[in-house]
Structure formats: structure tokens, C-alpha cells
Amino acid sequence: MPAGRRRDWPVRAKLYWCTTLNVPILGPDCPDGGESVRLVLTDPGDARPAFNHDLNIIREAYVNETGTTAGLERFMGEGVTLLNKVPFMDLMYEIVSQGVVTGRVYWDPAPAMWRLRFSLPGLKRVAGHEILPEVKLRYGKKEIARRRTLPNTQGYKPGSQVVFTSNGEPVGIGYVLPAGDRIRVHSVYWRDWPEAYGRGASSWDDAVKANDYYLYYYTSRAIKFIHVMNEKVGKPVIVSYSGGKDSLAALSLTLKTGLKPYLLFNDTGIEMPETRMTVEETARKYGLPLLRADAEGGFWRAAPRVGPPGKDYRWCCKVTKLAPLSRLLEEKFPDGALNVVGQRAFESLDRARSPRVWRNRWLPKILNISPIQDWTQLHVWLYIWKEKLPYNPLYEKGFDRIGCYMCPAAFSAEYQFVKQARPDLWARWEGFLREWASRIGLEGETAKLWVERGLWRWLTPAAQKKRLAHRLKVELPDWRSIYSRWLDPALLESRVEGDPPFYARFDRGFDPESLAEQYSVLGAFRIGEKGDGRLVLESRAGPRVVLEGDTVRVENAGGVLGRELLIDAVKLAFRWTHCAGCRACETSCPTGAIRVVYEGGRYRPIVDEGKCIHCKLCLDNCPLADITVERIYAALMLDDPVAWRRKGRRTHESVIKRYLALKGYKVEEKEAPVVDADFLVDPASLSGGED
């Protein structure tokens, strides 16, 4: 990795290899006094043990890449193996065997197969087997690096990996370009690496014993941290348990302090059965009260109305996680609690920048702590094996993370593991995707690849989506064409700039009750007219909101104010007809003004105008309003797929500060967003008075 990239990660793991015992260690000192070497890994270096399933994938990739098993056992090496996830368009791991990186195993989404990219130590191990096409050079490394491509005079197959040699020694690798006429130089080996450092057979039991001191050190620190925080906070203790390895380690450490915590499980409704089983068995094993934040089918209610979630369209997290967790914690712990979380700094950049103690912006009463913030995956697994903890069996089936089985943030390689483990679950999801592909106008091979190769994971025309589509040779329709079919009702035309009135016209009208039952959310309005499919909301300051037939219109308000008022009105109308029943609005309302009722086979949000203070928190915390309308309708209105980033929109920071202030927490004062005009907030209602 270039030196400049290192600054991207605030933390980097320091792992070593004991050459005499041939095992990885968590510090520089071998327990037998032997020599150790620092592992050179791509940042952040969060390496994990390779299970048998992973080793089989490496073997499969080796054969896919070379067409032979010759040299395979030498390539696999002696003893235990580590995998270190590295940046790639899909799932890719560095393979660490006997203290060196022998190559990278990765899922190639174009041919949908596992492939292998050799490093210098890996090529040295298989020397003499001639497993890769060879390009003999008459010049040195600097020359091939400068040229960047070389002619494919030998006629090697497009996509093939080739090894460049000089004087019989490997000096780099390249790939034959799709056209077949040239070879792209991919890597040049500037440094000479040994074939291996450690020698001899080794097992993970050996690794656990070799790391006994380091595990004692890290465990003691974590237990002390939990104990001190518990003494300081003096609140009920919860352990957030996902059924994954990190939260399992956090639970075990908490139990070692003598505490009997509540076990909190967020059942999204799209968890693997093995995960639910693991959670229930763990609660029984340790005799802990299990609190289940149940999404109650919210995902499958919402998906047919708003489409599959995406990396840039994450409505699912609010429906399945935030809303049920907020309801449960507010009910069970109204005075707050201490929540032990298995968060680690090496999981993501956001978590790397996170402190060990923090509060969630939507759950300010809950204090979260992470006792394993500075642990790598290797720390966690060695601890689990030492303590003989019952971990989720999915880890031995290729799963690197435990969570929703069709999470759009996952790699398409991980979906292969779901298909193998639970084909029934994946068949249901692919069936839904095929129906949605038809709805948005995708046909034939384009629809097939959109579903099967993971193009559905992006809503916007993101760079990653374009790159994958290019590799798959798929020509996707313009985003406007897809967006215009995405939601029901479809947006036909709109005007949100120029002179008012501003309007949005749909292919069918919204129910006037959608605004009549929620209008106070918009501000200090009153109902001026109602009847015959028409509703008029009036304010003393002049702006009017009119819902008539197939059109939502804002009069007497231009500029940013009129634009945002129109979008908010559309959000209310859409929320009324598409409510998924997650009740995130109820949890976020500081005055209890909103409630979600179930009538006529549908969920409806009802607002008590006498209690409503027009803070819009229910709107900004609604996944359908805040995400779906912003990502689809607002994008079409403003002809911009990232219109949700527009200047003048209420920022998340302002929403959070309003929420905390209204809940009684002290926050820094900051200038209000431009859309929070005086007439939208009735001072009398804020002070409890009457209009």
C-alpha cells in the first residue's frame, strides 16, 4: 500500500509471527524466547484465523487460477493460516502463511468465481511447477513499471495472470487485457521476500498457548474497564449481543466481573436461523434475561413499497434496528443503562475514530462502552478458543460478519455463503429482486445480472456500480428512468425553483387525510378547506399548502423555504400511505404527540395537534420520509441523484441537537437551518400556550 494511504487509518494492528513455534502472536516476544517478525499487512491489519472452509476456498481459487493442483500443498504451507481483508471491488483477503503474505484470494464478480493473485513468497513456493504463463524479460523492474503494459506476443488468454521473470527469477505479475493484445503490469516486486519465516506443523491450540501472556494482559485491562465504568455509572448493565464473535467476547468479559447483565438482541427479521439459535442458547447457558428488540416483520412490509435497500439507500437500518431498539430501551430503561458493546476500532474508519465510551445520537440515555476497542480479530478468536466459548457456527461456513443475510453493505461473495447455507432464504430474496427488476423496467440479461451479481446494492449511479456494470458488460438505464418507476405513486412532473407556486404532480393522488391527520408537523398551520379530494392548509404568515387531486402545491413561499416545505408535505403524504409500522416517529417525538395506529389492514401515523410542537423530529427520523422520499422524489424534483445533500436541507446535526435539547440535554447553540423559519414553529406551542 502506498505510504500516503496509511494516514487513512487512525489505528493499525501490530501482529507478529513466532518463527520457532510457527504461530501468530499478539506482541513481539515469543514465549519460548525464539525470534519473531512483524507481519507486514495492508492497513488496518485486522487479520483473522482461516477456518477449513476458507482453506478450501483458497484451494479452489488456486485451481481456478492455474488449472492444476501442482504445487498446491507447498503454496498452502505448514501450520496455521491467517486472512487479512483488503480493499477491493468485492471480497479479497491477504493469505498469511508461515509469517509471509503468499497471495490474495478474491471473489471475481464478473465470472462469479474465486481467484488467486500470487505474491513473491507464493511464487517462490511453487517454483519449478510452471503454474502461471511466463513472460521472460530482457530488462529490469524499473522498465516494466515504466511501460505499464507489454505486448502479449505469446497469445495468452484474456484475463490470465502471468508472471514476469528476469534471469529466471519472478519480478512481478500482470494480467492479459480483455482485448488480448497486451498485458497490464499489475505488481512489481521491489523487495525480496523469503519463501517463509516459520517452519513446522502448528495448530490453533499452539497459538492459544503461545499467546497466554498477551491474552491475560488484554483481558485484565478489559475487565478492569468494565468494572470501573459500572461503578461510575451505577445503572443497569446490558450487553448488546448480535450472535457474533465480538459481542460474545464482550459478554464473557462482562461476566468475569461478576455482573449478571441483560442480554440485548436486535431481531431484524432477516437474521440467519443459526444466529437466533446461538443467541437463545447463550442466554440459556449463562442464565441471563434475554431482551429481544423485534422488528416485527417491518422489513418485509416496507420492501415491496420502497424497494430493496442499498449502500446509499439504507432505509432498512431504521426500520429493523433503530426503531425497535429505541422502543425497547425507552420502555425497559427510562432512567438509562450501561451498554457493553463488542465494537472494535479495526472494523471501520468510523469505529476507528470512535472513543471507548459514547452515546448514540438517538439513544442519549444509554451509555455505550467497548472493552475490546483495541482488539483485533485475532485477539477475539484466541480469547474465544482459550475460554471455550460457544460461537456461531456460521463462522465455519465462510461468514466473516454476522448480521442481516442480505445486507446491501455485504460483498457479493458473502451472498454465495448464504446461498450454500440457507438456499431457501436466498431464493426468497432473489425472487423479490426479480419482481423489482421488472417493476423498474429491467429486462433479459440486464435484469438477470442486476439480481444475481449484486448491482441492486446501489440506488444511485455510484462509481462502484458503474465499474461493476462495465465489467459485466451491462448497460443500465439512466437513473431517471429507474427512479421514475421506483415508487408508487410515480412522480410525473414538478417545479421547485423559480417563482412560486411550487408543485409536485403524481400519476395518482394522495389521500387528503394524509395531511389532515398530520398537518401540524409542517408548522403553525390550520385547515382552511377540506372536501371533494381537496385540502388547503393556511398559515398566518402567508404560505399555503394545497393537496388537490394528483398534485401537492405550495403557494406564497418561494426559494429554499418553499422548496423544503413542498418536500416535507410530500413526505407526510407518502408516510401516510406507505407506513411500515416501525414507530420510529413515536420514539423520537419529545411530547408524545404522534402515535401509529393499525386500521383497515394498514398502519397510519396520527398526530395530536394540541401536543405537536412542529419540531419535525418524527419526519426526520422516519425511514420512509427521511430516506425514501429524499433519495427518490427529491432527486427527481431537483434532477440530481444526490439531491439529499442539497444546501438548505435540515442537517442531521441540527436534527440531533433539536432532539437532545427537547429531551432536556444540554447542547451547543448553533444557528438554525434556513428552512426553520419563524412561521413554521409556533412560539405559543413551544411554551405550552394556545393559539
**Mean per-residue pLDDT, 282-291:** 98
The region of weakest confidence among 296-305, 394-403, 615-624 is 615-624
Give the other-Cβ count within 10 Å of 686's Cβ.
12
How far is CA 449 from each of CA 10, 443, 479, 601, rounded to the nearest angstrom?
38, 10, 17, 36
Please report how the helices 212-233 and 245-256 are oriented relative to each other, as an axis angle in degrees rounded to 10: 70
> Looking at residue 507, what is its pLDDT?
96
The region of weakest confidence among 216-230, 491-505, 677-691 is 677-691
The model's confidence at residue 681, banded by pLDDT at 50, 70 and 90, is very low
Residue 653 burial by Cβ neighbours in a 10 Å radius (0-12, 13-18, 19+): exposed
Give the whole-angstrom CA distance, residue 242 versus residue 181.
51
Coil, strand, or helix at residue 72? helix
Give the whole-angstrom CA distance, residue 44 versus residue 40.
11
C-beta of residue 5 within 8 angstroms of C-beta of residue 43? yes
* Residue 652, all three cell numbers: 442531521
The segment(s) of the chain belonging to CATH 3.40.50.620 are 211-397
C-beta of residue 401 within 8 angstroms of C-beta of residue 392? no
The model's confidence at residue 196, banded by pLDDT at 50, 70 and 90, is very high
* Residue 268, all three cell numbers: 431484524
> Looking at residue 691, what is its pLDDT?
28
**Mean per-residue pLDDT, 89-118:** 97
Q: Smallest Cα–Cα separation from 453: which of 435, 462, 465? A: 465
Per-residue model confidence as pLDDT tens digits over 7-55: 578 899 999 999 999 999 999 999 999 999 999 999 999 999 999 999 9
pLDDT at 678 over 50: no
Percent residues over pLDDT 90 in the chain: 85
Residue 370 burial by Cβ neighbours in a 10 Å radius (0-12, 13-18, 19+): buried
**Mean per-residue pLDDT, 157-169:** 94
How far is CA 362 from each of CA 275, 291, 368, rounded to the nearest angstrom?
26, 19, 12
Output the DSSP codes for 628-675: IIHHTHHHHHHT-TTGGG-TTSPPHHHHHHHHHHHTT------PPPTT
**Mean per-residue pLDDT, 475-497:** 96
Q: Smallest Cα–Cα separation from 315: which of 143, 138, 459? A: 459
> Looking at residue 651, what is its pLDDT?
76
- Long-range contact list for 219-224, CB < 8 A, 24+ apart? 219/253, 219/256, 219/383, 222/253, 222/371, 222/372, 222/375, 223/253, 223/256, 223/257, 223/371
Give the other-Cβ count within 10 Å of 8's Cβ.
12
C-beta of residue 326 within 8 angstroms of C-beta of residue 472? no
* Residue 23, all three cell numbers: 504461530
> Looking at residue 672, what is its pLDDT?
37
How far is CA 333 from each of CA 160, 339, 366, rounded to the nearest angstrom?
59, 11, 8
> Looking at residue 8, what is its pLDDT?
73
**Mean per-residue pLDDT, 205-234:** 98
pLDDT at 687 over 80: no
First to last CA, the chain: 64
The model's confidence at residue 608, banded by pLDDT at 50, 70 and 90, is very high
The model's confidence at residue 426, banded by pLDDT at 50, 70 and 90, is very high
Can you tell me which residue has the cell 393559539? 691
Per-residue model confidence as pLDDT tens digits over 245-272: 999 999 999 999 999 999 999 999 999 9
Q: Smallest Cα–Cα separation from 576: which of 591, 597, 592, 554? A: 597
Per-residue model confidence as pLDDT tens digits over 142-153: 888 888 999 999
> Looking at residue 145, what is its pLDDT?
87
C-beta of residue 460 within 8 angstroms of C-beta of residue 81? no
- Alpha helix (H) ranges present in 453-520? 463-472, 479-486, 513-516
The amino acid at 297: G
Per-residue model confidence as pLDDT tens digits over 618-665: 999 898 888 999 999 999 999 999 999 999 998 767 776 776 677 676
> Looking at residue 364, what is its pLDDT?
80
> Looking at residue 295, what is its pLDDT?
94
Please report how the helices 245-256 and 377-387 are oriented relative to each other, as an axis angle in degrees rounded to 10: 60
The model's confidence at residue 668, banded by pLDDT at 50, 70 and 90, is low
* Residue 629, all three cell numbers: 422520499
The model's confidence at residue 89, banded by pLDDT at 50, 70 and 90, is very high
Per-residue model confidence as pLDDT tens digits over 51-74: 999 999 999 999 999 999 999 999
> Looking at residue 663, what is its pLDDT?
67
Give the whole-angstrom CA distance, residue 240 versus residue 264.
5
Q: What is the CATH number of domain 211-397?
A: 3.40.50.620
What is the chain's mean pLDDT, rounded?
92
C-beta of residue 246 within 8 angstroms of C-beta of residue 341? no
Give buried/exposed letters for 40-53 (b at 16+ CB in 10 A, else e). Answer: ebbbbbbbbbbbee
470 CB-near residues (< 8 Å, 6+ apart): none
> Looking at residue 324, what is its pLDDT?
93
Per-residue model confidence as pLDDT tens digits over 369-392: 999 999 999 999 999 999 999 999
Give the whole-angstrom CA distance, residue 582 versus residue 302.
9
Percent residues over pLDDT 70 in the chain: 94
Per-residue model confidence as pLDDT tens digits over 548-562: 999 999 999 999 999
Residue 679 burial by Cβ neighbours in a 10 Å radius (0-12, 13-18, 19+): middle
C-beta of residue 117 within 8 angstroms of C-beta of residue 86? no
Please state the pTM of the whole predicted model. Answer: 0.90
Give the other-Cβ count within 10 Å of 367's Cβ.
18
The model's confidence at residue 436, banded by pLDDT at 50, 70 and 90, is very high
pLDDT at 533 over 80: yes
pLDDT at 293 over 90: yes
Q: Smallest Cα–Cα separation from 24: which of 194, 208, 195, 213? A: 208
Per-residue model confidence as pLDDT tens digits over 334-362: 999 999 999 999 999 888 999 999 988 77
> Looking at residue 631, what is its pLDDT?
96
